[in-house]
């Protein structure tokens, strides 16, 4: 069935996924991390064997020697605990977690997924001195000025590695334009215009999408409550529109329909698309509204067409 085929093509993000911001020594190692598909952390004398076989007290004592701090003081204890927690946090990253790293000056962010469940050691690399590493599958590198302003708060963390779960939704919307999470479908439309958003274009976009979703819901007998759809607008320039719908089969069909109407059925990787082609032909007004708005707001067609 067409709907089942489309749902299987959509990425699902686990609700247990955690999100991490990892420093790159003021951007010095950013490109090495990206090109080498890894992230790394310092304190090389603290080995994986130390972490696996020694007590927390013993590892902290070794850190105190390496850092040359006096653990008899409050400040010394805090510094040792900070280093210990960073190393353990790095070790405990889970496969599937998402990491973000900043370039020099945080002008760019790289977003990637932890590729496996363990630390590996590389001690023969002239470019980056960090022995302890994690394999990363990089998803995208984005210019910071194109991201939601919330990311300026993400980069304010000065820790080597810090949890940024509070920004999960914003991060998800960067790494996926169409995804399922917590039994909700999310569809992200990015707009590249640096000018203000024309109100008529925005209204046409939203009404066109609502009308087309209603038609899809009826035609495919999905029984979804389109009125439960939520819209989140980031009307910065550039900006985005996020559409969210419980279950969301209608929203997934919408994404596929927009792809077919934008670039033609032959360019879309869907086996059973005859019904969608008919629907495109039957709804010229709604689709024209949407595509006119896309043109006015300079929609990022690379994502829309990539279904």
Residue by residue, DSSP assigns 223-273 as ---GGG-EEEEE-SSSEEEEEEEES-HHHHHHHHHHHHHHH-GGGS--SS-
Query: What's the mean pLDDT in 238-249?
Result: 93
Q: Are 121 and 131 in contact (CB under 8 A)?
A: yes
Query: What would you measure as the largest C-alpha separation in the chain, in angstroms?
Result: 77
d(CA 291, CA 90): 45
- Binning pLDDT at 50, 70 and 90, where does residue 140 land? very high
d(CA 243, CA 233): 9
d(CA 89, CA 102): 18
User: Could you read off the pLDDT of 209-235 as tens digits, one per residue?
Assistant: 999 999 999 999 999 999 999 999 987
d(CA 209, CA 207): 5
Q: Where are the domains of the chain?
A: 19-175, 178-304
In this structure, how many other beta carbons lie within 10 angstroms of the beta carbon of residue 133?
20
- pLDDT for the residue 266: 63
d(CA 52, CA 47): 9
Tokens standing for residue 268? 């879309």
In this structure, how many other beta carbons lie within 10 angstroms of the beta carbon of residue 77?
15
Q: Are 231 and 247 in contact (CB under 8 A)?
A: no
Query: What's the mean pLDDT in 68-84?
Result: 95
- pLDDT for the residue 277: 86
The arrangement of secondary structure in 19-175, i.e. its CATH architecture, is Roll (3.10)
Residue 73 phi, psi (nearest 5): -105, 155
Instruction: Examine the pLDDT at 268 and tell me if it is beyond 80.
Output: no
Instruction: Examine the pLDDT at 265 and tell me if it is beyond 60.
Output: no
Task: State the burial class of residue 210 (Cβ atoms within 10 Å of its Cβ: 0-12, 13-18, 19+).
Answer: middle
In this structure, how many other beta carbons lie within 10 angstroms of the beta carbon of residue 236?
15
pTM summary value: 0.92
d(CA 252, CA 178): 8
- pLDDT for the residue 119: 98
């Amino acid at each position: 069935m067409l709907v089942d085929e489309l749902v299987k093509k959509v990425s699902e993000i686990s609700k247990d996924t955690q999100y991490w911001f990892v420093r790159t020594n003021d951007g010095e190692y950013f490109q090495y991390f990206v090109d080498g598909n890894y992230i790394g952390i310092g304190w090389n004398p603290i080995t994986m064997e130390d972490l696996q076989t020694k007590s927390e007290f013993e590892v902290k004592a070794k850190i105190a020697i390496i850092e040359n701090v006096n653990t008899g003081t409050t400040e010394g204890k805090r510094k040792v605990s900070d280093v210990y927690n960073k190393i353990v946090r790095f070790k405990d990253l889970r496969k599937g977690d998402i990491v973000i790293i900043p370039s020099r000056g945080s002008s760019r962010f790289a977003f990637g997924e932890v590729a496996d469940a363990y630390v590996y050691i590389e001690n023969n690399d002239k470019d980056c001195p960090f022995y302890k590493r994690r394999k990363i599958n990089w998803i995208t590198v984005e210019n910071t000025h194109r991201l939601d302003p919330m990311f300026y708060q993400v980069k304010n963390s000065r820790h080597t590695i810090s949890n940024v779960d509070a920004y999960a939704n914003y991060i998800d919307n960067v790494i996926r334009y169409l995804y399922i999470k917590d039994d909700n479908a999310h569809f992200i439309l990015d707009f590249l215009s640096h000018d203000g958003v024309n109100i008529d274009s925005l209204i046409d976009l939203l009404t066109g999408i609502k009308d087309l979703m209603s038609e899809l819901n009826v035609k495919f007998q999905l029984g979804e409550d389109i009125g439960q759809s939520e819209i989140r607008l980031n009307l910065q320039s550039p900006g985005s529109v996020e559409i969210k719908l419980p279950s969301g089969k209608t929203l997934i069909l919408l994404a596929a329909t927009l792809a077919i109407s934008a670039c033609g059925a032959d360019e879309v990787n869907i086996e059973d698309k005859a019904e969608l082609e008919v629907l495109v032909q039957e709804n010229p007004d709604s689709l024209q509204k949407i595509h006119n708005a896309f043109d006015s707001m300079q929609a990022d067609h690379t994502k829309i067409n990539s279904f």
